[in-house]
Structure 1
Amino acid sequence: MEKAVLAAAVRNTKERQNVEGPFMDIETRRVEKCSLMKTFRLKAGNQTMDILCTTIQKESLGGAVAFISYASIGSIINESFVSEENLMTKEKLHNFYLNSKVVSGTVGSRKNTSLSMSINFTFQHEKIKRENEQPLCVYWQGSSWSNEGCQVISSDENQTVCSCSHLSSFAILMASTKLQVDPVLTMITYVGLSLSLLCLFLAALTFLLCRPIQNTSTSLHLQLSICLFLAHLLFLTGINQTKPKVLCSIIAGTLHYLYLASFTWMLFEGLQLFLTVRNLRVANYISAGKFKRRFIYPFGYGIPAVIVAVSAGVGHSNYGTHTHCWLSFHGKFIWSFMGPVFVIALINLSFYLTTLYILKDQLSSLNNEVSRMHNTRMLTFKAIAQLFILGCSWSIGFFLVEGVLDPIRSIVAYSFTIINVLQGVYIYLVYCLLNHKVREEYRNWFKKMKKRTETNNYDLFGSVTHTRMMEKTVGFPGKSSNLSSWHNVTHTPDSSSCFPESKKEEE
């Protein structure tokens, strides 16, 4: 691109050209004669480049220079391509993100041209620079960002001035000088998610083993519980495993899949509820068994797999960042998760509202099925609350981005964590503990366990008592007695034997 623009500038007779478009802004200059220390300023978009006239004439035979500002390329070659080995810094930095447009400057036919005199670039920040953030002037070095040959001249909240001794594609990389960790939030996360994992595990066991409640709805609840359990477990153990990068990307992709699968199973819960209520007034309907066999598993696990596969094919570098193994929040890649979540939430909400409307209409006209419809209506309210807990958590999580102010960010982080913790607790509480059939089954299980324990204790007590009676009857020979005397005593029948039935048989 730079070569083509430069060639066009050389061929053009105009001294100065400006081109503005949706994808890039360009300014070119032709310089024939100028004073020794004269500086030219080129502007593309809101970014500027200052270059000496002598540098232009020395590096370019045609005396041409081009400056390009790209509108959206920063979302492609973003902070995911930062390699700490290529960054020369005095201290450990965290939370990297691009905070400017990507620009390119060229005066010759070679890339990464080394210059006798440095060139200055002025970058306008995309987001206001916060405290504890440090800007880095970086250039694109083949496959990653590097700051070699570039340094920061000045910086404030809105812009940064860089000086570079070569030409390439440049940008401002922002980083935090301190990794801020909230110990209270960390404790809530680990303790809360551990509680949620326990509840999800108990719920999955209940749905799997409790026969009186096993139906299509229970099967959907089981799949949702399994997906959430695996997602939360992987979140606890792998969210901070940022090295190696390949492992981090795999963890991020797996989390993406598991959370999408959770919402897909919620979609099927809404569809199943809607079909159940519709079947109350429609004679010809699809049975729950058919619905389960034909659609539930291929679509429940297949739809998320397709979304993740397409997302990985388009932007695999956005899986995993330098701080966590999740999707990159910069650019539009996060919509590969938030988009399906919002769509599923809207579809489910429409299902639930339609279900409530149908139930209201039916309750006023039918009295013989009031109990059944009342149960269905309660199930609908439970599903709406579940949709709120799962959907609301990720709607809040969407705003956990770098641009949110610190006080608001803390509130959002706490809300996101607490609501995520409530997911497992809610599922176990509503669908297990508050279900009278499940409680009855729990009672039966506890009775059986208690009876089995009492039986084992009784057998153990009886065995000990029997042994003591034998010891008392026989009198335990002393140390001088041998095994043969013990054998004779225990096998000699008399009136005081412990086996009276044997004596009767002999008589």
Structure 2
Amino acid sequence: MQSCSHSNKQFTCKVTEPEAFQATTTLNIFTDPIVCNNTEYGTGRMGDKATTMCAEGLKGYKSAVCLESTVWKLVEDFCIVTKINELLIDSVDLKEEEIQTFTTNLSKAVKEEEQEITKSSATISAIVNILHIIASVSVDVSDGVMQNILNTVDVIIGDDAKDSWDFLNTNQIQNSSSELLGSFETISDKINGNVALHTRRIKLYRTKFNNSFSKELTSNVSINIPDTGLNDIYITTIVFSTLHNVMPSRNSSFEFTDSNSTSNKTKPDNTINAAVLLVKLNETIQNITLSYQKLNTTLELDPQCVFWNFKLFDKVGAWDDEGCEFVSDINYTVICTCNHLTSFSILMSTDIPESILLLDVITYIGVGISMVSLLICLIIEGIVWRALTINSTAFMRHVAIVNTALSLLIADICFIIWASIANNPKDNPNKDYIVPIGRCSAATFFMHFFYLAMFFWMFVSSLLLLYRTVMVFSQMSKWTMLTIGLTVGYVCPLIIAVTTVAATAPDNGYVRQDQVCWLNWMKTKALLALVIPALTIVVFNILVIIVVLYKMLTRRGSGNTVQADEKHALAVILRCVAILTPLFGLTWSLGIGTMVEPKNKRIHIAFAFFNSLQGFFILVFGTLFDSKIRSLVLQRVPALVSASNRTKSTSAGISSLRGLNIICRFWRRRNVYHVSPVPNSSGNTESSMLFTNI
């Protein structure tokens, strides 16, 4: 007798008779449709994983996942050609004296099994492992051994092997393509004498040179190293014409996805659009020029000059442009300059923004407006300084705003100097100008220092506001406040700027050496020496605003011993900090956005707009919003104009004053004034007016 129960398409059956025997079996009944079906993996529903043994002549197994597109996608491949698997086992105990025979056998086996090998990613990976062992075991690499290695690699980098390499390049832990290139770098160090070898897809050249070296390595690649001052130096060059089939095109901004994900990107939106050149020289070279012929002339976006950085992504590797600069792109020939020797190529990016004219327009117009605004701000502060710096709070409020404006003005001037350095071709009229590191470093230092000073003087304003709000009965002299302000406003940013130079300059990591003259990011993260202090001050100022507002609300209705002038100064400081802090915080947060999303045009435009108008914001919210400043300016300007018009005709003077009277009436309507005559000590018939804002 059997009893069965049904629940959620699961059936559990239990045998109860005879009583001596009992067994339970659970059956899963699936109703999902079959979407994948082929002779290799069989049938499967979406998301199913199937494993199968390898075909004849291969050892191991492989697995695939059924996709919604009704195909089985390979996710694991451990099928190795039997002959290569045997050689892989033999290579574990490989000795130096056995390398010649071993590489001959390897080259022969690869040639015989070429069709199977190019279709097997596991076999290609095994060959790369074998080459890595050969590179580590070898002491001296003879011409015969090197020719066998080239013959072996020539097979696995052809067009037929591209799909296998695409699969291998999704591996986030071990990258066979990077390991292959690394093995060649190691082997090239162990070649002796002059060598010239080639295969269908690889050309190796090793020779000695004195002082300079220039050669057309292939019809598509040439190299020039001028005036090194080095003699009897060997240089090894290896040109791989089809390594674009092998190397992934990811750069330093690429993000891996799950290797088993159906959306995994085997390559980002970039294309390796030239032969890959490996240059090995056992000396440090600061100037090397490389010329490449494009493989695909239909790609019209700006090329990038890059090298393979083995250290990126936990030593998985990626293309990096640090130390390499694009020079020109004429007649499908790209010229690059680099200050180090490694594997170079051109990385054609399909989503790096082209030069945006709007960015230049916003930047230069905005910086012009900013500088004019800051000059007006400083002139106005000079006009009203003596009248408004009576008490210590007002004194420090104006000291802070003057130094904030002055710091930003000097930083803007440094920006203009930086732009002239970066774009001035007079020292090198025959080709695109290379940014001089010395002058670039000086301009970058002063920009860094004065941008930091601007933020630290805002920090001084918030400290003053906090001090006068929390410590109501405490009194500090003007000169004590000034000393503290100067220390915080200038000494602190100077320490940060100098420390940044000391920590990064010895390894040439202080400034970028390509495209722009600014703090380095890719190599040393020196840019954080500006970003971290600036955003920390922004956060602190926001907290101060919250504390001050809380104190003001809790004290409402209680006795207030603060004088009217000092209360006015505190109100202006609070308004200034409360408005400028979010504006500056937004500006530099957008700057971080350009670091995180360097190809987003909208973020670049927004950052350029807000950053270039910081001076205008300081003029408006730091100066013109102060009613006392407006009052004094309206008082002084008519008097100055009147004095200048005394030498002119009476009718002209009356006409000028009528225009000023219109302006004065406008400001009076905006602010209600008590007007009282002030005795004129000079005895003139003219009268002075003292404007007092209610």
TM-score interval, smaller chain: 0.5 to 0.7
1:380 Cα deviation after fit: 1.5
1:391 Cα deviation after fit: 2.2
State whether residues 411 and 451 of structure 2, in contact with CA within 8 Å, keep that contact through their aligned partners in structure 1: yes
Would you say 1:337 and 2:530 are equivalent positions? yes
Is the alpha carbon distance of 1:265 and 1:379 closer, same or farther for their aligned partners in structure 2, counting shifts above 3 Å? Answer: closer
Q: How far apart, in 2, do the equivalents of 1:106 and 1:200 lie?
A: 58
Within 5 A, what are the aligned runs for 1:102-181?
105-107=185-187, 110=190, 116=197, 118=202, 122-124=246-248, 125-126=250-251, 127=254, 130=269, 137=276, 142-144=284-286, 169-170=342-343, 174=347, 180-181=354-355
Would you say 1:419 and 2:610 are equivalent positions? yes
Residue 229 (structure 1) aligned to one of 409, 429, 438: 409
Within 5 A, what are the aligned runs for 1:455-466?
455-457=646-648
Q: How far apart, in 1, do the equivalents of 2:513 and 2:543 lie?
A: 36
2:607 maps to amino acid? F
Q: How far apart, in 1, do the equivalents of 2:396 and 2:544 lie?
A: 17
The aligned counterpart of 2:480 is: 290
Give secondary structure in 2 for the equivalent of 1:456: coil
Structure 2: runs of 5+ lacking an equivalent: 1-88, 111-116, 147-177, 203-237, 255-266, 300-316, 320-340, 390-394, 423-434, 653-694
1:301 Cα deviation after fit: 1.5
1:262 Cα deviation after fit: 1.0
State whether residues 273 and 347 of structure 2, in contact with CA within 8 Å, keep that contact through their aligned partners in structure 1: yes
Would you say 1:452 and 2:643 are equivalent positions? yes
The structure with the greater share of residues assigned to helix is 1
2:613 maps to amino acid? L
Structure 1: runs of 5+ lacking an equivalent: 1-12, 18-29, 65-99, 161-167, 462-507
Would you say 1:376 and 2:570 are equivalent positions? yes
Is the alpha carbon distance of 1:149 and 1:325 closer, same or farther for their aligned partners in structure 2, counting shifts above 3 Å? Answer: closer
CA distances 1:295-331 after superposition (whole Å, capped 9, x unpaired) = 2223321222221222222223341443222123424
Q: How far apart, in 2, do the equivalents of 1:337 and 1:448 lie?
A: 45
CA distances 1:227-250 after superposition (whole Å, capped 9, x unpaired) = 101111221342352233321222
State whether residues 328 and 334 of structure 1, in contact with CA within 8 Å, keep that contact through their aligned partners in structure 2: yes
Q: How far apart, in 2, do the equivalents of 1:233 and 1:382 lie?
A: 24
The aligned counterpart of 1:272 is: 464
Instruction: State the structure with bigger RCO (CA 8 A, min sep 6), 1 or 2.
Output: 1
Question: Greater shift after overlay, 117-126 or 238-247?
Answer: 117-126
Question: Greater shift after overlay, 134-143 or 341-350?
Answer: 134-143
Give secondary structure in 2 for the equivalent of 1:269: helix
Would you say 1:300 and 2:480 are equivalent positions? no
Residue 386 (structure 1) aligned to one of 576, 580, 600: 580
2:496 maps to amino acid? I
Give secondary structure in 2 for the equivalent of 1:106: helix
CA distances 1:337-357 after superposition (whole Å, capped 9, x unpaired) = 212112222222222222222
State whether residues 189 and 280 of structure 2, in contact with CA within 8 Å, keep that contact through their aligned partners in structure 1: no
Is the alpha carbon distance of 1:368 and 1:312 closer, same or farther for their aligned partners in structure 2, counting shifts above 3 Å? Answer: closer
The aligned counterpart of 1:10 is: none
The aligned counterpart of 1:245 is: 437
Q: Percent identity?
A: 16
1:107 maps to amino acid? I
Aligned length, in residue pairs: 390
The aligned counterpart of 1:199 is: 373
CA distances 1:238-276 after superposition (whole Å, capped 9, x unpaired) = 235223332122212221111111111111111111111
Q: How far apart, in 1, do the equivalents of 2:134 and 2:474 lie?
A: 85
Is the alpha carbon distance of 1:290 and 1:57 closer, same or farther for their aligned partners in structure 2, counting shifts above 3 Å? Answer: closer
State whether residues 42 and 49 of structure 1, in contact with CA within 8 Å, keep that contact through their aligned partners in structure 2: no
Would you say 1:33 and 2:98 are equivalent positions? no
Q: How far apart, in 1, do the equivalents of 2:295 and 2:139 lie?
A: 25
Q: How far apart, in 1, do the equivalents of 2:318 and 2:561 lie?
A: 72
1:217 Cα deviation after fit: 0.9
State whether residues 359 and 377 of structure 1, in contact with CA within 8 Å, keep that contact through their aligned partners in structure 2: no
CA distances 1:397-439 after superposition (whole Å, capped 9, x unpaired) = 122248544xxx2211221122123321121122322222212
Is the alpha carbon distance of 1:389 and 1:433 closer, same or farther for their aligned partners in structure 2, counting shifts above 3 Å? Answer: same
2:388 maps to amino acid? I
1:428 maps to amino acid? L
The aligned counterpart of 2:364 is: 190
1:314 maps to amino acid? A
The aligned counterpart of 2:449 is: 257
Would you say 1:434 and 2:622 are equivalent positions? no
Q: How far apart, in 1, do the equivalents of 2:586 and 2:498 lie?
A: 26
1:296 maps to amino acid? G
1:212 maps to amino acid? A
2:404 maps to amino acid? L
Q: TM-score, normalised by structure 2?
A: 0.48
State whether residues 512 and 519 of structure 2, in contact with CA within 8 Å, keep that contact through their aligned partners in structure 1: yes
1:450 maps to amino acid? V
Q: TM-score, normalised by structure 1?
A: 0.63
The aligned counterpart of 2:396 is: 216
1:394 maps to amino acid? W
1:400 maps to amino acid? T
1:246 maps to amino acid? G
Q: How far apart, in 1, do the equivalents of 2:527 and 2:519 lie?
A: 6
Give secondary structure in 1 for the equivalent of 2:645: helix
1:344 maps to amino acid? I
Q: How far apart, in 1, do the equivalents of 2:516 and 2:526 lie?
A: 15
State whether residues 241 and 324 of structure 1, in contact with CA within 8 Å, keep that contact through their aligned partners in structure 2: no
Is the alpha carbon distance of 1:37 and 1:414 closer, same or farther for their aligned partners in structure 2, counting shifts above 3 Å? Answer: same
The aligned counterpart of 1:499 is: none
1:290 maps to amino acid? T
Is the alpha carbon distance of 1:250 and 1:151 closer, same or farther for their aligned partners in structure 2, counting shifts above 3 Å? Answer: same
